[in-house]
A and B are shown apart, each in its own frame.
Chain A
Amino acid sequence: MAAAGGLPASATLLLLVIAAVAVAPLASAVRPVSDAHRSAAAELFAASPDGSFGDLETTYEAVRTFQILGVEKDKGLIGKACKFAAEKLASSSSSPAKDLFHAARISGVLKCSVDSGVYDDVATRLKAVIKDTNSLLELYYSVGGLLSIKEQGHNVVLPDADNTFHAIKALSQSDGRWRYDTNSAESSTFAAGIALEALSAVISLADSEVDSSMIAVVKNDIVKLFDTIKSYDDGTFYFDEKHVDAAEYKGPITTSASVVRGVTSFAAVASGKLNIPGEKILGLAKFFLGIGLPGSAKDCFNQIEVFVPLVLSLPSKVFSLTSKDQLKVEVTTVFGSAAPPLRVNLVQVLGSDSKVITTETKELQFDLDNNVHYLDIAPLKIDVGKYSLVFEISLQEQEHETIYATGGTNTEAIFVTGLIKVDKAEIGISDNDAGTVESVQKIDLQKDTSVSLSANHLQKLRLSFQLSTPLGKTFKPHQVFLKLKHDESKVEHLFVVPGSARQFKIDFLGLVEKFYYLSGRYDLELAVGDAAMENSFLRALGHIELDLPEAPEKAPKPPAQAVDPFSKFGPKKEISHIFRSPEKRPPKELSFAFTGLTLLPIVGFLIGLMRLGVNLKNFPSLPAPAAFASLFHAGIGAVLLLYVLFWIKLDLFTTLKYLSFLGVFLVFVGHRALSYLSSTSAKQKTA
Chain B
Amino acid sequence: MPRATSDAKLLIQSLGKAYAATPTNLKIIDLYVVFAVATALIQVVYMGIVGSFPFNSFLSGVLSCIGTAVLAVCLRIQVNKDNKEFKDLPPERAFADFVLCNLVLHLVIMNFLG
Contacts and interface: CB of A to CB of B under 8 A. Distances in A.
A and B bound? yes
Interface of A: 583-586, 590-591, 594, 597-598, 600-602, 604-605, 608-609, 612-614, 636, 639-640, 643-644, 646-647, 652, 655, 659, 670-671, 674-675, 677-678, 681
Contact of B111 (A584, A585, A646): A646
Nearest to B54: A583
Interface of B: 24, 27-28, 31-32, 34-36, 38-39, 42-43, 45-46, 49-51, 53, 90-93, 95-96, 99, 103, 106-107, 110-111, 113
Nearest to B35: A605
Contacts of B50: 586, 590-591
A628 to B, nearest CB: 13
B39 A601 contact: yes
Contact of B31 (A583, A612, A613): A612
Contacts of A640: 106
Nearest to B50: A586
A677 B111 CA distance: 34
A647 B110 contact: yes
A649 to B, nearest CB: 12
A678 B90 CA distance: 7
Contacts of A600: 38, 42
Nearest to B102: A636
A659 B111 CA distance: 14
A59 B31 CA distance: 92
Contacts of B46: 594, 597
A586 B49 contact: yes
A605 B38 CA distance: 10
23 contacts: A585-B53, A586-B50, A586-B51, A591-B50, A597-B42, A598-B43, A601-B35, A601-B42, A602-B35, A604-B35, A605-B32, A608-B35, A609-B31, A613-B24, A614-B24, A639-B103, A646-B107, A646-B110, A674-B92, A674-B96, A677-B92, A678-B90, A678-B92
A672 to B, nearest CB: 11
Nearest to B60: A647
Given A585-B53, A639-B103, A675-B92, A608 B31 contact: yes
A655 B113 CA distance: 15
B28 A614 contact: yes
| A-B CB proximity, top 6 nearest | A586-B50, A605-B35, A674-B92, A601-B38, A678-B92, A608-B31
A594 B31 contact: no
A290 to B, nearest CB: 66
A681 B103 CA distance: 26
Given A601-B35, A675-B92, A678-B92, A643 B28 contact: no
Nearest to A647: B110
B44 to A, nearest CB: 11
A605 B113 contact: no
A674 B95 contact: yes
Contacts of A609: 28, 31
B96 A605 contact: no
Nearest to A682: B90
A671 B95 CA distance: 11
Contacts of B93: 674, 678
Contacts of B28: 609, 612, 614
Nearest to A594: B46
Contacts of B24: 612-614
Nearest to B46: A594
A590 B48 CA distance: 12
Given A659-B107, A670-B99, A598 B42 contact: yes
Contacts of A602: 35, 39
A612 B111 contact: no
A591 B50 CA distance: 9
A588 B112 CA distance: 23
B49 A590 contact: yes
Contacts of A671: 96
A585 B53 CA distance: 8
A90 B43 CA distance: 90
A598 B64 CA distance: 13
A643 B99 contact: no
B99 A636 contact: yes
A609 to B, nearest CB: 7
Contacts of B39: 598, 601-602
Given A601-B38, A674-B95, A612 B107 contact: no
Contacts of A613: 24
Contact of A647 (B42, B91, B113): B113
A634 to B, nearest CB: 13
Contacts of B107: 643, 646, 655, 659
A419 to B, nearest CB: 81
Given A605-B31, A614-B28, A670-B99, A594 B110 contact: no
A670 B96 CA distance: 7
Contacts of B27: 612
A540 to B, nearest CB: 70
A654 to B, nearest CB: 13
Contacts of A584: 53
Contacts of A591: 50
Contacts of B51: 586
Contact of A583 (B43, B53, B90): B53
A583 B32 CA distance: 35
Contacts of A652: 111
A601 B64 CA distance: 15
Contacts of A636: 99, 103
A95 to B, nearest CB: 70
Contacts of B36: 601
B37 to A, nearest CB: 8
A406 B34 CA distance: 109
Nearest to B53: A583
Contacts of A585: 53
